[in-house]
Each structure stands twice: as structure tokens, then as C-alpha cells.
């Protein structure tokens, strides 16, 4: 197999998802850090790779893949064992819905460029930005809590990790970083903690990635 090169930012939730999926599949890869805070996503060289100026981007065999949902589905199709989607099409749709709650309803509203926009364009204060973040995490997790209560086992869906956990763990980390009150979501927290306890998931943690700053992390 030719080398997989993953372009990402150590704290990016979307890149974190991809690292988790590759880890669960046991797939080796190399990382190329892209410093979003320094604006490297806008450099001409990176724009040739990812014209949307976002991470992650994945390269293999001269082909570039962008957008984490597409990359995750590609990973699961290319290396089907262990599966990250249930074999039953109805169950697979539920897992995709769990993932989409995070990928579509929470994460985009709290993306770095959105937070920068509300700070710069609307002069939002830090407390207002944190309230904005908490609002969308809380609304999304309220829906996800119901789905995990209905379909979860040890993990978000059933007793084996799925795409839902690849999305949940980074979002749970983000919620904790911003000190969002997670007490109303015991099932979400339990599922996320079960996934984080896996060696492959723990290895994908942002603090262990290339490009992480030296010293204390805010």
C-alpha cells in the first residue's frame, strides 16, 4: 500500500475524526501539520491540495480527498474490517444520523472561521463566543442523548465502535475544553468515555499530534 499522508491541525475536530478512524482500522499514515492559527490553510501550496482552505485533506496514490465525512466513508469502504458502519442498512442510517448531528448541526457553527467571524464582524466578546459554542453543543447533544438512549450499548451505537464514535469523541473533548455543562447527557458522556478508553482512540488525541505547541495548552 502506498503511503497515506494526512494534512491536519492538531486541535481540529475534523482531522481528529480521521485519525480515530485510521487508528481503529489499524492503518499506518504520516501527518503533515497545517497551522490554522498561523493561517497556513491559505498558503498557495496548501490551496492546491485543499481549495476550501480547511483540514483535513488526505493524499494517497496521487489522489486528494477532502471533507472528513467523505474521507471517513472512504476509509470504511477501502478497509472494511473492522466495520465502522453496521451491515444492516437501517442501522447504518441511524449511525450516519448520529454522525451528522455533530458534523452538520454542531461542528460547523463552532468552526474556527465562524468563531473568528463573530468576533471580528460582530465584535462578540469571549463570554458571548463561549455562550454561542455552548448553545449549539447543548442543542445537538440533547438530540444525540435521545439516540444513544435508544440505540447505544457500550458505545454510541451498540457494543462496537462506529462512525458515530469517531465524531463523538472530538466533539466531547471540545465541549469539555469550553466547559460546557454536560451533566444532562450521561449517555453521551458514557459512550464517549468508552471510546476514549480504547488504545487506538487515545493515540489520536490532539495533545499527541505533530504541531502541538510546547508547554501548557490553553
Q: Convert the pLDDT of each residue in 92-148 to its tens digit.
A: 999 999 999 999 999 999 999 999 999 999 999 999 999 999 999 999 999 999 999
Phi-psi region of 85 (alpha: psi -120 to 50; beta: other; left: phi over 0): beta
Are 52 and 77 found together in one domain? yes
Clarify whether residues 69 and 130 are in a common domain: no
pLDDT at 218: 58
| Confidence bin at 184 (pLDDT 50/70/90) | very high
Residue 212 domain flag:
no
Distance in angstroms (rounded) separating the CA atoms of residues 189 and 131: 20
**In sequence order, what are the beta bridge partners of 33?**
8
> What is the 8-class DSSP label of residue 3?
P
Is there a single domain that holds both residue 97 and residue 191?
Answer: yes
Report yes or no on 42 lying in a domain.
yes
Q: For the segment 37-62, what is each residue's pLDDT rounded down to a tens digit?
A: 999 999 999 999 999 999 999 999 99
Are 132 and 49 found together in one domain? no
For residue 101, give its domain range.
Answer: 89-201
Q: Alpha carbon of 176 to those of 96, 137, 146, 179, 183: distances in Å?
A: 24, 11, 20, 5, 11
Q: 175 and 93, same structural domain?
A: yes
Mean per-residue pLDDT for 16-36?
Answer: 97
Q: Report which of 193, 197, 187 is spatially closest to residue 152, judged by C-alpha positions.
A: 187
The residue-averaged pLDDT of 5-27 equals 98
Q: By percentage, how much of the chain surpasses pLDDT 70?
A: 98
DSSP code for 10? T
Are residues 121 and 49 part of one domain? Answer: no
CATH of the domain at 196: 1.20.1050.10
Final residue in a domain of this structure, among 36, 57, 82: 82
Q: Is residue 211 assigned to a domain? A: no
Count of domains in the chain? 2
Q: Examine residue 169 and state whether it is found in any structural domain, yes or no.
A: yes
98 plus 186 within the same structural domain? yes
Residue 54 is part of a domain; what is its CATH number? 3.40.30.10
Same domain for 103 and 20? no
Amino acid at each position: 500500500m502506498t503511503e497515506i499522508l494526512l494534512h491536519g491541525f492538531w486541535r481540529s475536530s475534523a482531522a481528529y475524526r480521521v485519525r480515530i478512524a485510521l487508528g481503529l482500522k489499524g492503518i499506518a499514515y504520516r501527518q503533515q501539520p497545517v497551522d490554522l492559527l498561523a493561517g497556513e490553510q491559505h498558503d498557495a501550496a496548501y490551496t492546491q491540495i485543499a481549495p476550501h482552505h480547511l483540514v483535513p485533506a488526505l493524499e494517497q496514490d496521487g489522489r486528494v480527498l477532502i471533507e472528513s465525512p467523505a474521507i471517513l466513508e472512504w476509509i470504511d469502504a477501502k478497509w472494511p474490517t473492522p466495520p465502522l458502519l453496521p451491515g444492516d442498512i437501517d442501522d447504518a442510517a441511524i449511525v450516519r444520523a448520529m454522525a451528522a448531528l455533530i458534523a452538520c448541526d454542531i461542528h460547523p457553527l463552532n468552526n474556527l472561521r465562524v468563531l473568528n467571524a463573530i468576533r471580528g464582524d460582530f465584535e462578540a466578546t469571549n463570554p458571548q463566543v463561549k455562550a454561542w459554542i455552548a448553545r449549539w453543543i447543548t442543542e445537538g447533544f440533547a438530540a444525540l442523548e435521545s439516540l444513544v438512549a435508544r440505540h447505544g450499548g457500550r458505545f454510541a451505537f451498540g457494543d462496537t465502535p462506529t462512525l458515530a464514535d469517531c465524531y463523538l469523541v472530538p466533539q466531547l473533548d471540545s465541549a469539555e475544553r469550553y466547559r460546557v455543562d454536560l451533566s444532562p447527557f450521561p449517555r453521551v458522556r458514557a459512550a464517549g468515555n468508552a471510546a476514549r478508553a480504547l488504545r487506538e482512540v487515545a493515540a489520536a488525541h490532539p495533545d499527541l499530534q505533530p504541531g502541538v505547541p510546547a508547554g501548557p495548552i490553553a
